[in-house]
Amino acid sequence: MPQNTYDAIVVGAGHNGLTNATYLARSGLKVLLLERNPWIGGAAVSREIEKGWTYSNCSYVCSLLRPEIFRDLELARHGLQVVPYGGGVTLTSRGDILGSYADHELKRREFARHNAHDGDAYDRYSTEVMRQCKFIRPLLLRTPPDPTSLRPRDIREMIFLSKEFRKLGEQVIYDTIRFYSMSIADYLGEFFESDLIKAALSGSGIIGTALGPYSPGTAYVLLHHYMGDVDGSIGSWGFARGGMGAVSKALASAFKSFGGEIVTDADVVRVLVSGNRVTGVACANGNEYRAKTVVSNLDPKRTFTKLFDPRDLNADFVKRARNFKIRGSSGKLNIALDGLPEFPALGKDNPLRFGDMHFLESLAQVERAYDDWKNGTWSKLPYLDLLIPSMTDPTMTPAGKHWMSVFVQYVPSTIQGKPWTDEDRNGFKNTVLDMIGRYSPNFKSLVRHVEVRTPDIIENEVGLTDGNIFQGDLSLDQMLFNRPFPGFAQYRGPKKGFYLCGSGTHPGGGVMAAPGANAAREILHDLRRPNLVPEGWHDD
Amino acid sequence: MTDAKHVIVIGAGHNGLACAAYLAKAGRRVTVLEAAGQVGGAAVTREFAPGFRVSACAHFSYLLDARIAKELELARHGLATARADLRTVSLQPADEHLVLNGGTVEAGRVNEADRAALAAHHAAMLKFARVLGRQHHRIPPRLLGGGRSNAIGAALLAWDIRRLGRDDMREFLRVAGINIFDIVEESFESPALKAALAFDAVLGTNLSPRANNSMLALLHRLSGQASGTAGGVSLPAGGMGAVSEAFAKAATAAGATLRLSAPVKQIALNGDRVAGVVLESGETLAADVVVSNADPKRTLLELLGARHLETGFVHRIRHFRTKGMAAKLHLALDSLPGFPRLPAALAGERLVIAPDLVYLEHAFDAAKYGETSPQPALEISIPTVHDRTLAPAGKHVLSAVVQYAPYVAEASTDAARAQLLENTLNVLESYAPGIRGKVLASQLLLPADLEREFRLTGGHWHHGELALDQMLMLRPVPGAAQYAMPVDGLYLCGAGTHPGGGVMGCAGRNAAQAVLRAERA
């Protein structure tokens, strides 16, 4: 094979690009993985910004990573270790707390402490959500069927889906349809009375989503945050030891073990097309690489509006790509601390302090935070998901020091249509620091360095259009066989030999690795090579 | 006569009357019991000030089913149209008003690209709406079980989507579950046009343009016809009450007995089967079958009683979303209001005040926290331009749907009503300067008022929100979407069942079929 010629080129070394490339390499193909940044990992990355501190700069906790892939690619052997953090807590301005224990019985009692009825409701709620998790989990590692197609593969898959559906039983089928289209507020309202409990649970319905808790469609987003697991404990979340970059590192190690090649600082600017098929890619520095298979880990909008010459694509398709909904609504602060902040409401020894912390009062507070976003500014009382991973993983900071990760919802990609200024960013930072300071008196005095991550920064650095953390909104029109666009949900692009493998494809965002694996299955199918990608298994 | 089964229909709304007419035509002995002193339920014409009459709840006809109108000979029973094919005029605060006629822009500052996009959008919406329209005459299938007729029903539904063809089917599956905001943002540039189209999708709903499900509400709205125009809007002569009266005449002509001012207190059971009803007056009426035109919550939780139902079912019924968000304004006017830059000939069209998407969104934002919209969006009809029977000579009636008006507790309705009236008149004054001076009398009905006046739980004029999780086989709730309730002999026939709200008549007709089908089984 001549130099610079490969069997397959994967553009973008995010966790899905890495997963995809690994499966292709494992199949014996000569695979090149190109990454624009000097480092790999996309949004699953650990970097040292403040000397001595390692931040998970973007994604910060792990649960969705498919266990089938974790085992199949032997990621543990390649160095990945996920430590569950077990629960979390919501602090209110009145000094009360609502503990979210990993243990079901403890959590039920905690809910009952706030509202006797809601304790019982929690039993019903967790049963129903678990039922939905068990329904969706086996579907994550499958290629969505095209409902308009009569090809045997699609028909077989439709039959499989309808069988899975029938297994639920009639009433649960109805519940499932309702669940996928309701607002998280309405859904929680069917179980709980306490506004605080509803507010605390609503968080999973809005993270990363440009919708408020009152907006229909947010109940599904909740499922998207519940359907993962750590070591088989469904709905649990954990820290990757060494930060989320450890996931990418382990995948890269697996990729290299199969002979894969990674080139960083390789900014792909054009997918080369000849007639109806792709022939390779061109980089900003003039380097060209050839392959009959090109896979993009970039989001669908960026892929089709930036990497392709519009003349190579059909106008309707370009319109589809331009209209792909990928709205930035989240930001993040990574904070280096000189010591451990105290949260008096929580107490020094409360085990909940190892988990995620929220500051909430009511559903209306979260909805008003969304109103601010709609009006083109960051939330004045944002929803925060705050963790101190260094309490669990001391490798992240110097001894006695800590790193705090603060996820912030809602943050727009522009301020009233104008680009973020330094002043805006400072205002945003202070909004968040002040909010934490209200619950932790010594917090501000411990702050040593703050990395402010607004959607525009995330877009510039990671490449996610508008800074959308899921590579595209998780709404009904962009799910399953509609993701990213109707007719293109089976990972194939509009040109022969071109594929998508990022979170912009089914089953969507989160550090899941499922889109990358599913895309690899389709590529191997097209190349008439044996399938190596696991198809998902049922939980016991 | 005495051998025929006796059916009692609770409520003489248009659906109750349609159901009664079909059952009477099929030879059943039918008694319709209406609590109010006139027929019509929420499709009614009432005097709200001396000499001034108005369609007191619904004020346009856009879904009346053509097949039912023909089968029940509504025209022979007096139904006439005062004006067909109303245009939509979206009033602009400072610009040329936007005049829409179906997919055509007749006036307004709209560029060529938008005009072409509107024609395509309108055609696509009608095509998708027809998929829903085809379900109007069908009893929704259960998704599992229920035997052969259900399997056929489910197959027909799938086929209706399938036959759109590959591209349209894909587009239908993409847009059906989402929001109007994204759709208009994808296709149009003109803020006025976007808002005018978005308003149609949120009218009468508890949704903002950004809320998912609003596309479905729009498709529902377009799924019928008026005076032969698909997706059209018309004004019946004599107001919406005239539609109900035609239904009532059809029912009585078919042999049904109609009793007004006969409120039902309770549905009586014999064992676990319906035995009849007890009236507020204490009178007991025996029946083999009871069909309720009242909303599902009122029927099952109040008239029947939760104790006769299984817990899970009651739980579902309780969570059927019935909170209304639309208020109704009626003004008696001394003379026709003047809208600057609007030709007088257009004053009787369907006037809309929703100048841009942010305006609509902000109107909703206040209401979602239970507050009054500072600047509500309005759908206005001045029926007296076309129909002189509704007001004294020279005078006029203005009827408007006001959005958004949250359902508030009884105690605070007076303050909320005064506030919303003031806000609404201020908006009207800014579009029709001097209108406040012409107001002889006014009436504003909040959702709580609609609840009381028309016995609609929650004050939702579709009996319940029209959303993906409350449509077709999920309306009103799974297990009750085939009109038959879990108690033998009890049926629902109102807008709370498939195919939902709007003065259509299909729920009544389908319920009658369900009753007849059960007899045969």
Token pair of A27 as six digits? 């199949």
Cα separation, A381 vs A383, in Å, equals: 7
A182: contact with B, CB 8 A cutoff: yes
Interface-testing mutation among A127, A177, A191, A370, with chain B (most B C-beta atoms within 10 A):
A177
Would the CB atoms of B211 and A171 count as touching at under 8 Å? no
Q: Please tell me the predicted confidence (pLDDT) of residue B1.
A: 45
Q: Which two tokens stand for residue B98?
A: 């936007």
Angular region, A486: left φ>0, alpha ψ -120 to 50, beta rest: beta
Which tokens sit at B193?
A: 């046009």
Dist. CA B55–CA B399, nearest whole Å? 8
Task: Please state whether the peptide bond connecting residue B343 to the residue before it is cis, i.e. omega within 30 degrees of 0.
Answer: no
pTM score, whole prediction: 0.95
The reported pLDDT for the residue numbered A539 is 64
**What whole-number distance in Å separates Cα of residue B246 and Cα of residue B257?**
15
Query: Measured at the alpha carbon of residue A311, what is the angle toward residues A310 and A313, in degrees to the nearest 5?
Result: 70
Strand partners, B353: B378
Q: How many angstroms separate the CA of residue B362 from the nearest CA in chain A?
A: 9
pLDDT in tens, B201-255: 999 999 999 998 899 999 999 999 998 999 999 999 999 999 999 999 999 999 9
Which residues have a Cβ under 8 Å from the Cβ of A82 and sit 6 or more positions away?
A: A62, A65, A230, A231, A238, A239, A240, A241
- Whether chain B has a CB inside 8 Å of the CB on A25: the answer is no
**Residues of A numbered 334-353 whose beta carbons fall under 8 angstroms of chain B's beta carbons: which are they?**
none
Q: Does residue B468 sit at the A interface (CB-CB below 8 Å)?
A: yes
A367 has a chain B CB within 8 A of its CB? yes
Q: For B472-489, how does the pLDDT look when each residue is reduced to its tens digit (9 = 90+)?
A: 999 999 989 999 999 999
- Could you tell me the two tokens for B295? 């909303």
Contact A234, A34 (CB under 8 A): no
Q: How far apart are the first and last CA of chain B?
A: 22
Q: Do A481 and B173 touch (CB under 8 A)?
A: yes
- In one-letter notation, the amino acid at residue A259 is G
CB-based burial label for A164 (10 Å; 0-12, 13-18, 19+):
middle
Share of chain B above pLDDT 70, in %: 99
Question: Looking at the predicted structure, is the pLDDT value of residue B145 above 90?
Answer: no
pLDDT tens readout for residues B53-91: 999 999 999 999 999 999 999 999 999 999 999 999 999
For B216, which residue in chain A has the nearest alpha carbon? Answer: A181
10-residue mean pLDDT profile of chain A (540 residues): values are: 90 98 98 98 96 96 94 97 92 96 95 97 95 92 94 94 92 92 95 97 96 94 92 90 98 98 98 97 97 98 96 94 96 98 93 95 97 97 97 96 98 98 98 98 98 98 97 94 95 98 96 97 98 80
Is the pLDDT score of B516 beyond 50? yes
Interface test with A, best of B128, B320, B468 (most A CBs within 10 A): B468
Q: Please count the other Cβ atoms lying within 10 Å of the Cβ belonging to residue A466.
A: 22
B368 near A CB under 8 A: yes
| Residue-level pLDDT at A540 | 54
* Residue B373 in contact with partner chain A when CB distance is under 8 A: no
pLDDT band at B150 (very low <50, low <70, confident <90, very high): confident
Q: How many CB atoms lie within 10 A of CB A57?
A: 27
What is the nearest CA distance from A371 to chain B, expressed in angstroms? 8
Which among A170, A374, A486 has CB closest to B170?
A: A486
Query: Would you call A188 an interface residue with chain B, using a CB distance cutoff of 8 Å?
Result: no
How long a stretch of residues is chain B?
521
Residue B2 is predicted with a pLDDT of: 52
CA distance A25 to A16: 14
**Whether A486 contacts chain B with CB within 8 A:** yes
Q: What are phi and psi of A254, to 5 degrees?
A: -65, -45
Burial of B34 per CB tally in 10 Å (0-12, 13-18, 19+): buried
Helix, strand and coil percent figures for chain A, each rounded to 5: 40, 20, 40
Are the C-beta atoms of B439 and B331 separated by less than 8 Å?
yes
Confidence of residue B520 (pLDDT cuts 50, 70, 90): confident
Q: Please judge whether A476 and B211 are an interchain contact, meaning their C-beta atoms are less than 8 angstroms apart.
A: no
